[in-house]
Structure 1
Amino acid sequence: MSLTETQQNQLLALARQSIAHGLQTGRPLPVVVADYPAELRQTRATFVTLERRGQLRGCIGMLEAVRPLAEDVAENAFAAAFRDRRFPPLAAEELANLDLHISVLSPAVAMKFASEADLIAQLRPGIDGIVLQEGGRRGTFLPSVWEDLADPEQFLQHLKQKAGLPAAYWSDTIQAYRYTTEMFG
């Protein structure tokens, strides 16, 4: 799926409106899905990333597609601004200097690998988003994380830590899934 520039701009405006609505009401902007073109009504998973002065200010999303794209963006924008536990809720004066980025995810595909080295060899820097799962622990990095962690071995070590596992951890039951994103903003 490739969104037009107009559709991308619609989603970015919707994300900003949902955050502004949240500042006023404490709730995400209600979305009337029928008001949007067919592409924005498709069930898709997204992440919304907020940055302020080049620094991460919030990032929340869904790995599985469970609601229409426009609604997912509105919900995740609100959550990134007000529910990301790493940051205090967004203050009204921060909105003007907020940069928004939206990542629309492809469906995740299970990866098959025989060892940690095999998994590392299959990673595609700059292309893959990865979900790592072991038992009840799970973490993901969007493809944009490759900008900061370009080495596949480091990427995987940091992802293990994000999932709550030690960096050197490995087991034969660990699972990995790859996805790609269309990112804009």
Structure 2
Amino acid sequence: MPSALEAATIEHCFYCFDVLISRLEDKPIPKAQCVDAEYPLFVTWNIDTHGDMHLRGCIGNFNAMPLGSGLQQYALASALQDRRFNPITLREVPRLECGVSLLTNFEDGQDYLDWEIGVHGIWIEFTNDQGHKRTATYLPEVMPEQGWNKQETIDSLLRKGGYRGAITEKVLKSIKLTRYQSSKAKAGYTEYVAYKKGADVL
């Protein structure tokens, strides 16, 4: 897995807006201008609803891939294919905020509690009540935003991954946990419009 070679930047978020708007307007998708290092990454879309930001889509990949193609793929996947939400529409774009997370510093945890809130994202592997292997992840910012402690985070993550049974000590001890860190940038639509106007002037 890569180390922190490049930080996520606001330009990465602007490119995700470019990609999404081009797709929604049925126009050619522009090529990314970013350095094509390889990263695992996630793209997150939030939407302003009466002054509060709410999740509108978040999908990514733990397999390192070229940054340009990765941003393009997951800008669209998170906006249009997150099964928790309806696809984002062009009408919603002016209320959107985009977040890009580049994931780095992957480490095996000694157990399900071997990570730090506000520092690490976590990815867990476990067996559900039907005996099927499942995985689930939360990015580093999720736990502080929700105000969860470690146990609440793990319980929520098991439910997110589809575990429906009683969360016993045996279940918790069976979890394989990987911790990681991320570099994250965010940009709202207003910033994107200002950036595009400046780019047009140049």
Q: Secondary structure at the match of 2:151?
A: helix
Q: 2:134 — aligned with what?
A: 137
Q: 1:126 — aligned with what?
A: 118
Q: TM-score, normalised by structure 2?
A: 0.76
Shift of 1:96: 1.2
Indicate the RMSD between aligned Cα atoms, in angstroms.
2.2
Q: 2:184 — aligned with what?
A: 183
Q: Secondary structure at the match of 2:38?
A: coil
CA contact (8 A) 1:149 1:155 kept: no
1:57 and 2:52 aligned: no
Q: Secondary structure at the match of 2:183?
A: strand
Gaps of 5+ in 1: 114-118
Shift of 1:13: 1.3
Shift of 1:107: 4.7
CA contact (8 A) 1:132 1:138 kept: yes
Q: 1:9 — aligned with what?
A: 10
Shift of 1:174: 2.3
Alignment counterpart, residue 156 of structure 2, candidates 139, 150, 158? 158
Shift of 1:31: 3.4
- CA deviations on 1:65-115 (whole Å, 9 max, x unpaired) are 1x21122111111111111111111111111110011111015322123xx
Q: Secondary structure at the match of 2:137?
A: strand
Shift of 1:3: 4.1
Tell me the distance in 2 between the aligned counterparts of 1:51 and 1:2: 26
Higher relative contact order (CA 8 A, sep 6+): 2
2:158 partner amino acid: K
The residue correspondences of 1:41-80 to structure 2 (distance < 5 A) are 41-53=36-48, 54-65=53-64, 67-80=65-78
1:70 partner amino acid: G
Q: TM-score, normalised by structure 1?
A: 0.83
Q: 2:31 — aligned with what?
A: 31
Deviates more, 1:150-159 or 1:168-177: 168-177
Q: Secondary structure at the match of 1:10?
A: helix
How many pairs align?
170
- CA deviations on 1:144-166 (whole Å, 9 max, x unpaired) are 11120431110111011111124
Distance 1:171 1:157, change over 3 A: closer
- CA deviations on 1:113-153 (whole Å, 9 max, x unpaired) are 3xxxxx32x22001111111024200000011112043111
Q: 2:96 — aligned with what?
A: 98
Tell me the distance in 2 between the aligned counterparts of 1:44 and 1:82: 22
Distance 1:133 1:149, change over 3 A: farther
Q: Secondary structure at the match of 1:79?
A: helix
Tell me the distance in 2 between the aligned counterparts of 1:126 and 1:172: 23
- The structure having more radius of gyration, on CA atoms, is 2
